[in-house]
Structure 1
Amino acid sequence: MFEQFGVPVCEVTYVRASDEFIFVRFRPQERFCFDSIDLAAIEIYDSLYELRHTF
């Protein structure tokens, strides 16, 4: 779970059976599956950056 200013922004879950990272963004509600932690990290960074710059 990743938060910015106490507001939940996104969540990443690792699924060992399929070796995938499930990325869920809360605003807007989106869900992506990645096979690389690097791709998930980019989405996390983008989500946090986007929320920080909307205020």
Structure 2
Amino acid sequence: MKAHRLVTPATILRWHRRLLARHWAYPHRRGRPPIDPIVARLVEQMARDNPCW
């Protein structure tokens, strides 16, 4: 029966590992994304307007 297999269990496992590796591949970003300058100015103005904030 072993001689009649078209695909071995090891092959199926290898295909599955490759599929998962491709699906979960994403770019590795470092650090926090930059803040929009408009938002930064708004936060600075709010901090000036509310010194106890």
TM score, norm. by length of structure 1: 0.35
Greater helix share, 1 or 2?
2
Higher Cα radius of gyration:
2
TM score, norm. by length of structure 2: 0.36
- Between 1 and 2, higher relative CO (CA 8 Å, sep ≥ 6) is seen in 1
